[in-house]
Amino acid sequence: MRTQLTFAPLAKIESELLAVLAVDTQTDKAVDAKPQPVLLTADPAIQAAAATVLASGEFKAGANETALLHAPAGLAARRLLLVGLGKQVKANANSVRSAAGTAVRFIKPRGIRELALSLPVHELIPPAAGARAAVEGAFIGDFDPDTYRSERKDQSVESFTLAAPANSGKAALETAFAEAIIIGESQNFARVLVNEPGNKLTPTLLGRRAALMASEVGLGWEVHSTEKLRELKMGAFLSVAQGSAEPPALIVLRYEPKGVTSSPVLGLVGKGITFDSGGISIKPSDKMEEMKTDMAGGAAVLGVMRAIALLKPKVRVIAVVCATENMPSGTAQKPGDVQTAMPFSPDKPGKSIEIINTDAEGRLVLADSLTYARQLGATHLIDAATLTGSCVVALGRINAGAFSNDEVAWAKFDAALAVSGEKFWRMPLGEEYAELIKSDIGDIKNSGGRYGGACTAAEFLKVFVEDTPWIHLDIAGLAWSDELKPYIAKGPSGVAVRSILEWVRSY
C-alpha cells in the first residue's frame, strides 16, 4: 500500500474517498437524549458537505459507525465517508486506530482503491499519537486471510493518504507516520505467518521465513534443529518434537545497535507450535484446524524483531522462537513420562518434569527457550504464547492474560499498553499456585489440574526464569478472531506485536 502524509486543505485533496472522523458530544445520560455528532475538523467545506446528514439524525457517530456521501459539494474527493469514534469523553488514539481500520474495511469490497483520512483535531488525541494510530489501523484493516482461494480477488487498498492540519507539527507527524508504517507492516507480517496452514508452515519453513526476514532487515540470525537441541540438552523441547515426523527449529535472532554494549539485554521468547494436535492427550476434533495458530506467540516475536530492526531503538535484543509440531505417534511422549529440561549451567542439573498432559506442551518448549535466552545473556525476559484455554475461560476474548515477577518490568509494560491500545489483564502468581505443580516423582509436573490453569502454567515458566525480571503473555484468547469486526478481518490478529515493541522501546 502506497502511503502519503499531506498538509493540504481537505477540500482540495483529490481521492476516490475522503474519510473524516466524528464524535458524539452528547453528555446527557437520559434515555431519550439524542446523539450530537460533531466532525473532528474545522474545514468549512467538510462541515458544509456533511451538514444535512448530521442534522438528520441518521448518523450518530457511534464507535465505527459509517455514513457515505457521494459527490460532496465543494470537495475534490469523489466521496465523503463519516466514521464515528463514539462518545467524545472516551475518544482516544485507539479509537482512531479502529476508525481508520473501519474506513479501509468499508472501501475494500466496494472496489475503491484510494483512501484519504483526515487526522482528527481533538484535545484528547495528540496529533502524533493520532497519526500513528491512524496509519497502523489502515494497515491492520487492509489484511485479509483468504490467501489460498483459487479465485481470490485482491481487494487491497492501493493508496492511503493521511491529511493533517497545516499547524499540527510537521516534524513530529512525519516521524509518527514513518514509524506507524513499520509497525503496521510488522503486525501484518506476524498475521501472515499465523494464517498459514500447518502443511505450508512447518517448523523448518518457519525457520526459513524468519531467516529471510532477518536478512532483509539486518538482524543477526541462526536456525538450529535436532542436533543442536541435543547438544544444549533441551530435553523439554525435544520431548514435544519427538512425536512428529517434522524436525524442530530453534530460531535465534539478534539485534545489536551500534554503540550499545551494556545492559540491559532484552530477551523475547515465543511459542512456535506450528500445529498442536495435543499429542497422546489428543484434542477434540472440533476447531482443531485452528491449532495451526499455536505459533502466534512466536509470530508476534518475529514481527516485533522486524519492527525493532527498522526502528533501531538503543537497546540490545535477543529473540528465541521454539518451533515444533505436537503430534501423536509411536514415538510421541506419554502421560507419566519424565523429561529433563535444559540446565542453565553445566554445574547445575536441569529440572525434571513429570508429564501429566501432553497437550500442556507449550510450557515445555518455553522452559528450554527461556533458559537459553538467559544463557545467551538476556537480563530481562518477555514471552508470548497461546498457552492455556484456562486464560480464555477467565478473561474471554476481550483481554489477554499477563503475569510478571518484577514490578519495574511490569510498570513499563503497563505504560506500553496505553500506546499500543491492546488489552492485557495482569493475573496472579504465588506459592499456592506453585504448590499445585510439584511432582511426587520429579521436580515439577507440567499440569496443575483444571483450576487456575493459566496461573499454574505461568508458575511453571517462572521456575525457569528464576530471578530474571520477566513478563509472560498468554494470548490464547486474542490471537485468532472468529468474528468479522468493522476494523479487522476474521482470522489472525497479530496481538502483542505493538505491546512488546513498546515495552522494548521503553528501555
Q: What are phi and psi of 72, to 5 degrees?
A: -65, 130
Q: Which part of the chain is CATH 3.40.630.10?
A: 188-505
What is the DSSP secondary structure assignment for residue 191, as one 8-state letter?
H
pLDDT at 449: 94
Q: What does the alpha-carbon distance between residue 8 and residue 5 come to, in Å, rounded to a whole number? A: 9
Is the separation of the CB atoms in 10 and 118 below 8 Å? Answer: yes
CA distances from 126 to 129, 296, 415, 460 (A): 5, 32, 16, 41
Q: Which residue has the cell 482503491?
A: 113
Is the model's pLDDT at 446 over the cut of 90? yes
Fold classified for 2-166 = Leucine Aminopeptidase, subunit E; domain 1 (3.40.220)
Query: Each residue of 27-47: pLDDT tens digit?
Result: 988 878 899 999 999 999 999
pLDDT, tens digit, 9 for 90 and up, residues 69-101: 999 999 999 999 999 999 999 999 999 999 999
The whole-number pLDDT of residue 32 equals: 82
pLDDT of residue 448 exceeding 90, the answer is yes
User: Residue 458 corresponds to which cell in the numbers above?
Assistant: 505461568
Active-site residue, from 306, 351, 363, 412: 363
Domain(s) of CATH 3.40.220.10: residues in the chain: 2-166
Instruction: Exactly one of 208, 283, 397, 423 is catalytic; name it.
Output: 283
- Cis bond leading into 264, ω under 30°? yes
Closest CA to 137 of 396, 492, 420, 481: 420
Tens digits of residue pLDDT in 137-171: 999 999 999 999 998 888 999 999 999 999 889 99
pLDDT surpassing 90 at residue 262:
no
CA distances from 25 to 37, 80, 121, 271, 478 (A): 6, 21, 14, 44, 31
Q: For residues 101 and 137, is the Cβ–Cβ distance under 8 A?
A: yes
**pLDDT score of 322:** 98
123's CB contacts (< 8 A; 6+ apart) are none
Question: How does strand 18-24 pair with strand 114-118?
Answer: parallel
Would residue 363 show up in a list of annotated catalytic residues for this protein? yes
Sign of CA dihedral 496, 497, 498, 500: positive
Q: How far apart are the first and last CA of the chain?
A: 31
pLDDT at position 174 is: 98
Closest alpha carbon to 400 in 289, 491, 478: 478
CATH 1.10.10.410 for domain 188-505: no
Give residue 286's pLDDT.
94
Q: How many CB atoms lie within 10 A of CB 367?
A: 28
Q: Taking residues 364-393, report their average pLDDT.
A: 98
Residue 268 CA to its chain's centroid (Å): 13
Region 249-272 average pLDDT: 96
Instruction: Spell out the long-range contacts of 406-412 with Cβ–Cβ below 8 A and sequence spacing 24 or more.
Output: 406/469, 406/470, 406/471, 408/469, 409/380, 409/382, 409/469, 409/470, 409/471, 410/471, 412/503, 412/506, 412/507
Reply yes or no on whether 230 is catalytic.
no
What share of the chain in percent tops pLDDT 70? 100
Cell numbers of 188, please?
A: 501484518
Residue pair 205/247 in contact by the 8 Å Cβ criterion: no
Position 127 scores a pLDDT of: 97
The average pLDDT across 171-198 equals 98
Backbone angles phi, psi at 23, to 5 degrees: -125, 160
- Return mean pLDDT, the chain: 97
Q: Are 55 and 32 in contact (CB under 8 A)?
A: no
Q: What is each CA distance from 103 to 38, 69, 100, 176, in whole angstroms?
A: 18, 13, 5, 20
Most distant CA atoms of the chain, gap in Å: 79
